[in-house]
Chain A
Amino acid sequence: ETTVTQSPASLSMAVGEKVSISCKTSTDIDDDMNWYQQKSGEAPKLLISEGNTLRPGVPSRFSSSGYGTDFVFTINNVLLGDEGIYYCQQSDNVLTFGSGTKLEIK
């Protein structure tokens, strides 16, 4: 089973800043990494899927990069409405999620 190590656990950013979240996997997963946003009291929402593919309707401020074992999720020009918890999840083998990054907007 592939372990996913996500960092940092929390971030506090000002509006307009750039957010970067890292996920590292214990095995090579090609580009089978997905990124979700979960706002308080809501279900997770898929933002980016395998191959660093932005999902329909998701603003281009959100992006990701990476291949193999190292992946980065980025939010450019962060907005107040981006507050929430962000999870990475690998879909190469037995599905596993990262531990989450709580994003607070100051």
Chain B
Amino acid sequence: QIQLVQSGPELKKPGESVKISCKASGYTFTDYAMHWVKQAPGKGLKWMGWINTYTGKPTYADDFKGRFVFSLEASASTANLQISNLKNEDTATYFCARAGWDYVMDAWGQGASVTVSS
């Protein structure tokens, strides 16, 4: 069955970097885009952008340009999210989600928690 398995929780200090992975299985990785969604504690869902798993081209939502990088390890069917120069407001759960070319997110990872605290 289709599965997206994300890496474990992270505790970081302000200014550090973090890399979250999302390993896909149960389908052809390059047939679907991978999207990233942020959920701050007690808050709603915020779309961060997506990466074309066929070409590797990332697209970032306006609020996530600069410190956020989407990348792939296509041979391992894995998408990654790297956040640099972490700030307290980056404390959140980050979800990866598979989407067809219609941008409908039909399968989600379990979420990866990132806590930024000095």
Contacts and interface: CB of A to CB of B under 8 A. Distances in A.
Interface string A77-106: 000000001010101001111111000000
Nearest to A87: B45
B106 A55 contact: yes
Interface of A: 1, 34, 36, 38, 42-46, 49-50, 55, 85, 87, 89, 91, 94-100
Given A97-B47, A100-B44, A100-B45, A91 B102 contact: yes
A46 B44 contact: no
Interface string B95-114: 10100001111111111000
A94 B95 contact: no
Contact of A44 (B45, B61, B62): B45
Interface residues of B, number: 20
B47 A46 contact: no
Contacts of B44: 85, 87, 97-100
Given A44-B45, A44-B95, 8 more contacts: A34-B105, A36-B105, A44-B105, A45-B108, A46-B106, A50-B102, A97-B46, A100-B45
